[in-house]
Amino acid sequence: MQVFDITKWQLASVIACGYNFFSEGRLEEAKKIFEGLAVLDPNHPYVQTMLGAIYQRMKQYDRAIVRYTFALKLHPNDVCALTNRGEIYLMLGRFTEAADDLKRALQLDSQKKTPAAYRARLLSIVAAESLQSLRQKHPAQTKSS
């Protein structure tokens, strides 16, 4: 059920305003705008992905994961949400989940033109190389189970 009437112009202007704050690094203002929008229109994937990115940049990783996961329910092919959640999983040492997200992001970018998927490619390579070099430097620590 829709309680409030908002026109396409109004919604577009608020989203554009929130994105401007985000791209200028004004994360607190961006958060206020997208949190407000999420209360008015919770099932909008862009709103949820933006909240994920805002919390990621604020290093509030648990909150970011919750938002990206919600966004992916609404838009399963969201390459930005997959790449960003994959990166957070990497930072948290949740490597299997990270690999799943990054791989999916790359599979979705079949035309190889999404900037987020470029980051996913690079993150995957850096992760694989870092883990391999760790095994070479510390073989005793990474002995196979």
Partner 1 sequence: MVPENVKAVQEEIIEAALSQPPESIEQAIRSFDWISRMEIQSEVPALTTAEKTMPPPGFVAEPIDYLVIAEANQASAGELVPLDELTSALQSQDARSQKALDSFLQTGIQESLRSFKLRPGTKISPPEILEPLNELLSADQIKNLNASRLQPSIDAVNELYSTLKKVQNGMTHLELNRLRMIRA
Residues numbered 85-124 forming contacts with partner 1, rule: CB under 8 A: 87, 90-93, 95-96, 98-100, 103, 106, 112, 114-116, 118-119, 121-124
Question: Does 132 help bind partner 1 (rule: CB under 8 A)?
Answer: yes
Span 64-83, contacts to partner 1 by CB under 8 A: 64, 66-67, 70, 74-80, 83
Residue with tokens 């095994």: 135
Question: Does 60 help bind partner 1 (rule: CB under 8 A)?
Answer: no
Smallest distance, Å, CB 117 to partner 1? 10
Q: What are phi and psi of 89, to 5 degrees?
A: -60, -40
Q: Which one among 82, 84, 86, 105 touches partner 1, defined by CB under 8 A?
A: 84
Q: Do 33 and 69 touch, CB atoms closer than 8 A?
A: no
Smallest distance, Å, CB 66 to partner 1? 6
Which segments of 18-88 are extended strands (E)? Answer: none
How does 54-66 read in b/e, with b if 16+ C-beta sit within 10 Å?
bbbeeeebeebbe
Question: Does 13 help bind partner 1 (rule: CB under 8 A)?
Answer: yes
Q: Which one among 24, 56, 82, 105 touches partner 1, defined by CB under 8 A?
A: 56
Q: Do 103 and 116 touch, CB atoms closer than 8 A?
A: no
Residue with tokens 């005793």: 140
